[in-house]
Amino acid sequence: MNIGEAAKKSGLSAKMIRYYESIGLLQPAGRSASGYRHYSEQDLHRLAFIRRSRDFGFSLEEVGQLLALWQDRKRASADVKALATRHIDELNRKIAELSSLRDTLQDLSDHCHGDHRPDCPILKDLESGNCCH
């Protein structure tokens, strides 16, 4: 199938498929005599793996590691679990950071009168440059 069909079936854009090829996550596609890329079912399976990995928030470097582990039939599942555990720790850190930001903004919003007066604790906080309280 051509890149347009591969894009449609994988749910990725043709641009992303070309990008994944350029960084080595996907082997360069075979070419027709006229130079068009052709993708196999195996390529689609790999693209689905990449897409799902990215849906979980894995970085491109981590996706590369996961692909290598996926293809290594002699891998230890402990290696896969260790990578996933590190990613979970990073997700938890980001969640805590976002929760703190949400709570701070909620507190500022709760203290804003939201009326005709110019006083606004939200703008005052942004002006102060303080990240978190």
Is 39 buried (19+), middle (13-18) or exposed (0-12) by CB count in 10 A? buried
Domain count across the chain: 2
Is the separation of the CB atoms in 102 and 116 below 8 Å?
Answer: no
Secondary structure of residue 98 in the 3-state scheme: helix
> Does residue 70 form part of some domain?
no
Give the pLDDT score at 29.
87
Residue recorded with tokens 């950071």: 97
Claim to verify: residue 4 and residue 47 sit in the same structural domain: yes
> Does residue 63 form part of some domain?
no
Q: Give the helix, strand, coil percentages of the chain, each rounded to 5.
A: 65, 5, 30
> Does residue 4 form part of some domain?
yes
> Does residue 10 form part of some domain?
yes
Which of the four pLDDT bands, split at 50, 70 and 90, describes residue 131?
Answer: low
Domain with 101, as residue range(s), is 76-133
> Does residue 28 form part of some domain?
yes
> Does residue 68 form part of some domain?
no
State pLDDT tens for residues 11-24. Answer: 999 999 999 999 99
pTM of the complete model: 0.80
> Does residue 115 form part of some domain?
yes
